[in-house]
Structure 1
């Protein structure tokens, strides 16, 4: 009971002490006349300081938010400023690209006027030079000799006298790769072959005896190899990972000529796109091969 009374007494003493008002007076030093005075307690002093601090914080925040000072704060860049910076960067990049194109164009014009650059060789400016789809790539000397030798070999081929438009008597077509046909031959949509889903890097086999007439890379079809066969057939193998033969190589039916891959923009997975052509016209490979 005595402890409780003592605690209450201390509490009353504390509130009395912080609420007790002190008088602060200012006197004229000459006349000792009181010029100004005010009363202030500890509680009112703490309250005044707290209010002043809150007001100062609020005013500072308001100045930062409403004035350009906010752009100097880390991570607080205005969206419009960011957008303008991005647009300026894009404009600078476009101007740099246009300057490069114009410089290359002027360089080609100077070459043509001075006679140092053949006209047909100007094919470097992708946005200005028109690429003719019918552009005939000149044959090299080795390619011309190979074509001439092949035509001489075929000159006395009696198979051309066969009235059957697609002769297949006595011909066995090897399956080019082991797998599942994922897309069939559809000439209406210009899909002149079959897609065979297979394991990556599995061997691709030549379907008949023949001679390799083309090997190369196509942006859409990846690594491509073509084999000309003496009976008028031409087989084409696309999207290969690796080509094992070169132009002019003679291959036998069932010989590995490439590895299954996923090359080219039109490929969506490891597979072989296989086409079979007869005298310049596509035929359905599934009519001749059991996949």
Structure 2
């Protein structure tokens, strides 16, 4: 008999395992086993345990068994927080720039202005106004009108106009009176001066939100309103401000009372400015004051 046959006989040799009670040695059960069966059961048990452990380590118990799990999770959180910080930093920077520019606008401290008297590149669009007035925008305003064309703007339309778009819509006059100073950016006069009756109410030219109310030494009581499409209207030299920052106003709603406050004034009047994306517009091209 060879060595292989001896090992085969030894592996397949039967053993009887008997289970007895300790008290009376009575037989409770017995089972026939062999070394080969024990090896097979051990291998199968190892495979089952290893497979279950692998599945659990990759699913439910991953955070305890996978050493890369926490590192991956932390990296993802760090990237998310970094993006949030970058977004907040950018938003704060844009907000600071916006407020700084707005403060300069309020104080009339604008160092660089676009030349609104540049030669026209296209034939000016003419729209018939009420009372026979002709609407002729300047070259500087024409590009803005082109951008606004077709966009609805919340305001009070002129009687007889069927389409309430920017091209065919006139803002609500903030006050009715006589123009005593015209729009002249080259002379640092970024709006118009309108003289009216004493204690005449000043009205919002369109719906929007009050973004600034204050008093300055040069312009007295000032109120600014943010409208849709990046438009800002500014009302200076008021005697009384009737709205607060954050108030939502409608077109034609009274926001202040005409006055004579500030050093840059020679009598009761309203200094009115209209800005679009940091560029002053000529209010006379959009509003009829008389």
Structure possessing the higher radius of gyration over alpha carbons: 1
Query: TM-score, normalising length from structure 1?
Result: 0.44
